[in-house]
Amino acid sequence: MTHAPLSQVKRGKVYGIGLGPGDPELMTLKAARLIREASVIAYPTLAGGASFARSIAAEFIAQGTREIVMDVPMTVARGPAQHAYDQGAARIAEALEAGQDVVVLCEGDPFFYGSFMYLFARLRSDFQVEIVPGVTSVTACAAVAQLPLVARNEVMTVLPAPLEDASLRDKIAGSDTVIVMKLGRHFKRVRALIDTAGLTEKSVYIERATGANEVVKPLKDAPETAPYFSMILIVKGADPWL
Amino acid sequence: MTHAPLSQVKRGKVYGIGLGPGDPELMTLKAARLIREASVIAYPTLAGGASFARSIAAEFIAQGTREIVMDVPMTVARGPAQHAYDQGAARIAEALEAGQDVVVLCEGDPFFYGSFMYLFARLRSDFQVEIVPGVTSVTACAAVAQLPLVARNEVMTVLPAPLEDASLRDKIAGSDTVIVMKLGRHFKRVRALIDTAGLTEKSVYIERATGANEVVKPLKDAPETAPYFSMILIVKGADPWL
């Protein structure tokens, strides 16, 4: 009878957990369970601010859970942020090597514009990774705006607002339903493009869907400036009567 | 002092509840709570078959819950299905008039290619409606394929497979990430288009993500035929290293 050497601890597993759009009750049962059971959680904070992800998950985090916080600087150059993910991945890897599972908290869904991808890229070749999908801000916005997204054979396109005018214009024209995300400082420009396309009446502006301070307005009544966590839904069709 | 007439019962509210992609644990906490508390639930069945939505929610449905079943015929003409939704909406309206809330079970998300839209269109002007968003098959597929969907300023397009070749070809070319849904009998044609575009190596085929009998394969190894609940993910970019 042989024994594995004591140093061969079974490696832990990384979970990338989607927390949904903001309302903690829109977390999945699986996400809530994994967070409650976790002995180690990890999440990014932006430029030293509070973590939105942690705030969604807060009520499920048990006393004594170890927290690996990755402070990601907001710079135009990518180097400093990449360095923060390198360091975070190294600390997560250490816990995994010691046999602990690590639950990484992700706003929305981990694979939909999520920073979890940066950790996934660093850890996937050495460790077992499981992704728990979450409700995205896209369907959350449609829900709070009471605006069906797509029906039957309609096409839906998701566009980040920082794209160039020509690209935004073409893609807005070529789709039945368009979601423009990451508005922030691009809001005024995107709004003008939508107006020129004659689509303002078919557009809704939403900030922080399902979260505290949610804002839902027809685009024509939207405020002058928009935060990063805001989007415009343009729904040309989605009429289930026809 | 005046009293409201006894006949003015407070009307019930309709909930359109997203159940997520198939794994009951991917239901949101809110969906699970509302189903557990419901005295009336409603859901469609297709052509007399079992309800996929009901099967996801089954463990949360309390004994004695009333079930309004809408049997939707699968015909090319829209009339018969519309008639089934007319009748379903009328039965739901009756419960609402009597002061009962009605929880409508929806696979995935109610407003993302969901049949709930047909009920929403019929009930929204007379009754209060709340939409509870759910995890869509899109992020579920990305999770089980371990394939990040979109990062940074990448564009994502969702295409129903029944679209014409030219439209599919253009939109596949014009987006960083493409999800082709509702494959069914269009699978062979879509596969040929992806192959001609040189994108087979970047494509993954998924059936019933997170559900029983889930299938995840590189597109080149996919089976010959595909059911309706299958999709192809084409991810050209989503590389978080760069």
Indicate if B141 and B128 belong to the same structural domain: no
Query: In angstroms, what separates the C-alpha of B92 from chain A's closest C-alpha?
Result: 18
The answer for B 91-150 residues in CB contact with A (under 8 A) is: 109-114, 117-118, 120-121, 124, 129, 131-136, 139-140, 142-144, 146-150
Indicate if A74 and A177 belong to the same structural domain: no
Indicate if B17 and B128 belong to the same structural domain: yes
Res A228: pLDDT: 86
Q: With respect to residue B6, please indicate whether it lies within any of the assigned structural domains.
A: no
Asked if the Cβ–Cβ distance from B162 to A153 is below 8 Å, we say: yes
Indicate if B25 and B109 belong to the same structural domain: yes
Mutate to test the interface with A, among B149, B172, B216, B228 (most CBs of A within 10 A): B149
Indicate if B127 and B145 belong to the same structural domain: no
Indicate if A124 and A26 belong to the same structural domain: yes
Q: Does B216 touch chain A (CB under 8 A)?
A: no
Q: pLDDT confidence of A240, banded at 50, 70, 90? A: low
Return the HEC string of chain B.
CCCCCCCCCCCCEEEEEECECCCHHHCEHHHHHHHHHCCEEEEEEECCCCCHHHHHHHHHCCCCCEEEEEEECCCCCCHHHHHHHHHHHHHHHHHHHCCCCEEEEECECCCECCCHHHHHHHHCCCCEEEEECCCCHHHHHHHHHCCCCECCCCCEEEEECCCCHHHHHHHHHCCCEEEEECCHHHHHHHHHHHHHCCCHHHEEEEECCCCCCCEEEEHHHCCCCCCCCEEEEEECCCCCCC
Res B1: pLDDT: 45
Indicate if B102 and B48 belong to the same structural domain: yes
Q: With respect to residue B214, please indicate whether it lies within any of the assigned structural domains.
A: yes
For residue range A100-156, what is the model confidence (pLDDT) as tens digits? 999 999 999 999 999 899 999 999 999 999 999 999 999 999 999 999 999 999 999
Q: With respect to residue A240, please indicate whether it lies within any of the assigned structural domains.
A: no
Q: With respect to residue A6, please indicate whether it lies within any of the assigned structural domains.
A: no
Indicate if A188 and A225 belong to the same structural domain: yes
Q: With respect to residue B7, please indicate whether it lies within any of the assigned structural domains.
A: no
Residue at which a domain ends, from A108, A132, A156 = A132
Indicate if A221 and A169 belong to the same structural domain: yes
Residue at which a domain ends, from B116, B132, B148 = B132
pLDDT in tens, chain B (242 residues): 445 555 578 999 999 999 999 999 999 999 999 999 999 999 999 877 889 999 999 999 999 999 999 998 877 777 888 899 999 999 999 999 999 999 999 999 999 999 899 999 999 999 999 999 999 999 999 999 999 999 999 999 999 999 999 999 999 999 999 999 999 999 999 999 999 999 999 999 999 999 989 999 999 999 999 998 899 999 998 665 43
- Which structural domain, as residue segments, surrounds residue A79? 13-132
Indicate if B125 and B172 belong to the same structural domain: no
Res B5: pLDDT: 53
3-state SS, residue A211: coil
Indicate if B98 and B185 belong to the same structural domain: no
Indicate if the pLDDT at residue A79 is higher than 90. no
Q: With respect to residue A155, please indicate whether it lies within any of the assigned structural domains.
A: yes
Q: With respect to residue A39, please indicate whether it lies within any of the assigned structural domains.
A: yes
Residue at which a domain ends, from A117, A132, A147 = A132
- The number of distinct structural domains making up chain A is 2
Q: With respect to residue B85, please indicate whether it lies within any of the assigned structural domains.
A: yes
Indicate if A99 and A18 belong to the same structural domain: yes
Res A1: pLDDT: 45
Of A30, A32, A155, Cβ closest to residue B171:
A155
Query: In angstroms, what separates the C-alpha of A33 from chain B's closest C-alpha?
Result: 9
Indicate if the pLDDT at residue A35 is higher than 50. yes
What's the CATH code of the domain at B185?
3.30.950.10
What's the CATH code of the domain at B33?
3.40.1010.10
